[in-house]
A and B are shown apart, each in its own frame.
Chain A
């Protein structure tokens, strides 16, 4: 097949897709992303049972742990692939070790926002030698969802950080 026909087929595919999904690749796009910041609150029910619930975080004192829950909803009629959520650890806060969760996602971290790796892969130069980065040094978290996100489905990413 010549290059020209190959291009023609590629272009046709593009056109076909754009007709079928008028919102494709344009804001607001196929993924609706929401973030919620919450704090833990101890509750005691009528029977005296203690449990912990999450309530919206508005004002917090240093030392408080804040939980962010990021949800990605596929609002299109096509599946979304390689859904990747990124979230920086907020300023003045420190990532709580092992708190990042996301069902179906590979989670990596970054110290500089550019290169991402697992806990075992991230290193820091100290006193002329490389050592494994501590989780309190992480500055960014990335969730790569392994499976496609079906239309109408939701991917959830969550992490916690403590206010310095």
Chain B
């Protein structure tokens, strides 16, 4: 029975995602600002001119509730079965007054090939501000540490997932983050009277004071396949599998997918009722010695009788590795 074993870890390509553009600026002037206006008039009666001023009108700027969520790592490469995988988001207060935001993550999103599994906890705030999830970053607990952002302020948020084992190279799993203003959200123009900064009204802006960003995990997996064929050559110049006939085996080993498989070893047991023909083991048409020495191939007798060839690290670009060996049908 032929088998291919990979040692160590299957490593994904170290592709780091392009950072999403995250220009998000707050709207207008600060909530609570008062705008005064006074008109003046000049006129003449007869030959004398005079001036006068009007009352001063005063208008107060209300607070607009607006928020934007941007995905900073839109596509995160992951290996099947990996844990603590992170999508990074930025939540920005694009309103004109200080506001606190409520965060929710969701990994059951339609249209992808798998659901990332939420870690526990699944949302972290970038407390140390270094852009990487680390021990200093606080787990988010709704209602306890909702981020408080000034107008134009932002916070970096990590969403953390595990990847199921049963995914294959190229599968995508989406995981999203939404943020909404604690003062209120809803239809643009909705007024939360007196609940804005400095006691002004808070008014929902064009974003509805709620925003959603969706990132994805992209599985980068490599799999190894081995295709075996045989040709029988008998002592009489024919192809009948009689005792004494030789069977020439050819095995084509290749890697498909993304990433690399390290420590690949091909091994094949010598079939019952046959005997290995010494010196017939080759890799890519180069002869290998039967003994356990520095070259890649060996004919082993314990614990089982088999040939084995070390193929090293294979990627899809490595191409087909061809192993050949021969056995003779026993008398």
Chain A residues in 8 Å Cβ range of B57? 35-37, 57, 68
List B contacts of A62 (CB < 8 A).
27-29, 61, 64, 96
Count A-side interface residues using an 8 Å CB cutoff. 48
In the bound complex, residues from chain A placing their C-beta under 8 Å from that of B229 are none
Interface size, chain B (Cβ < 8 Å): 39
With A25-B50, A63-B27, A92-B33 as given contacts, are A87 and B43 in contact (CB-CB < 8 Å)?
A: no
A163 touches B29 (CB 8 A): yes
- Judged by a CB distance under 8 angstroms, whether B144 is at the interface is no
B165 at the interface (CB under 8 A from A): no
Do B43 and A59 touch across chains, with their CB atoms under 8 A apart?
no
Contacts of B43 in A (CB 8 A): 30-31, 72, 80-84, 149
Beyond A33-B39, A70-B39, A163-B28, whether A60 also contacts B48 by CB under 8 A is: no
Chain A residues 69 to 102 lying within 8 A of chain B, measured CB to CB, are 70, 72, 76, 78-88, 90-93
The reply to whether the CB of B23 lies closer than 8 angstroms to some CB of chain A is no
Do residues B52 and A60 form an inter-chain contact, with CB atoms below 8 A?
A: no
A29 interface contact, C-beta 8 A:
yes
Among A30, A36, A85, A86, contact of B45 (Cβ-Cβ < 8 Å): A30
* B61 engages A60 (CB within 8 Å): yes
Cβ–Cβ contact B39 & A35, under 8 A: yes
**Binary per-residue interface labels of chain A (22-64) against chain B in the complex, 1 for a CB within 8 Å, 0 otherwise:** 0011111111111111000000000000000000011111110
Question: CA separation between A9 and B46, bound complex, in Å?
Answer: 14
Chain A residues in 8 Å Cβ range of B60? 58-60
Residues of A within 8 A of B33 (CB): 92
Given A31-B43, A33-B40, A59-B200, decide whether A66 and B48 contact each other with a Cβ distance below 8 A: no
User: What residues of B have a CB within 8 angstroms of the CB of A85 in the complex?
Assistant: 39-41
What residues on B are CB-neighbors of A164 within 8 Å? 28-29
Return chain B residues, CB-CB under 8 Å to A32.
52
Residues of A within 8 A of B40 (CB): 33, 85-87
- Taking CB atoms, residues of chain B closer than 8 Å to A118 are none
- Given the contacts A70-B39, A82-B43, A87-B39, A34 and B55 also touching, CB distance less than 8 Å: yes
Specify which chain A residues have a CB less than 8 angstroms from the CB of B42 in the assembled complex: 82-84, 86
Within the complex, which residue of B36, B64, B201 is in contact with A90, where a contact is CB–CB below 8 Å? B36
CB-CB under 8 A from B29, the residues of chain A are 62, 92, 163-164
Check B54 against A24 for contact (C-beta < 8 Å): no
Distance of A61 Cα from B188 Cα, bound (Å):
12
Tell me whether A59 and B201 are in contact in the complex, defined as CB-CB below 8 angstroms, given that A86-B40, A92-B29 are known contacts.
yes
Residue of chain B at shortest CB distance from A32: B52
Q: Is B242 an interface residue (CB 8 A)?
A: no
* Residues 198-240 (chain B) with a chain A CB within 8 angstroms: 200-201, 203, 205
- Tell yes or no: A17 within 8 A of B by CB: yes
Q: Cβ of B64 and Cβ of A81 under 8 Å apart? A: no
- Give the residues in chain A near B21, CB-CB below 8 Å: none
Q: Is the CB of B59 within 8 A of A59?
A: yes
Q: Which residues B56-78 have CB closer than 8 A to chain A? A: 56-57, 59-64
Counting CB contacts under 8 A, is B166 at the interface?
A: no
Q: Of the candidates B28, B35, B55, which one forms a contact with A35 in the assembled complex, judged by CB atoms under 8 Å apart?
A: B55
Contact of B37 among A29, A37, A59 (CB under 8 A): A37
- By a CB distance below 8 angstroms, the chain B residues around A79 are 45
Q: Tell me if B44 counts as interface (CB < 8 A to partner A).
A: yes
**Contact between A88 and B54, CB atoms less than 8 A apart:** no
A80 and B48 CA atoms in complex are apart in Å by: 10
What chain A residues lie within 8 Å of B38 (beta carbons)?
35
User: In this complex, what residue of B is CB-closest to A71?
Assistant: B54
Report the minimum CB–CB distance from A19 to chain B (whole Å).
Answer: 13
Say if the beta carbon of A21 comes within 8 Å of chain B: yes
A81 CA to B201 CA, complexed, in Å: 44
Residue numbers of A with Cβ under 8 A of B are 13, 17, 21, 24-37, 57-63, 66, 68, 70, 72, 76, 78-88, 90-93, 149, 157, 163-164
Which chain B residues have a beta carbon within 8 Å of chain A's beta carbons? 27-29, 33, 35-57, 59-64, 96, 196, 200-201, 203, 205
Can you list 10 A-B pairs with a CB-CB distance of less than 8 A? A30-B43, A36-B57, A37-B37, A59-B60, A60-B62, A79-B45, A82-B44, A82-B49, A86-B42, A87-B40
Which 8 residue pairs of A and B lie closest in terms of their CB atoms, listed nearest first?
A62-B28, A37-B57, A33-B54, A35-B54, A59-B62, A80-B43, A70-B39, A87-B39
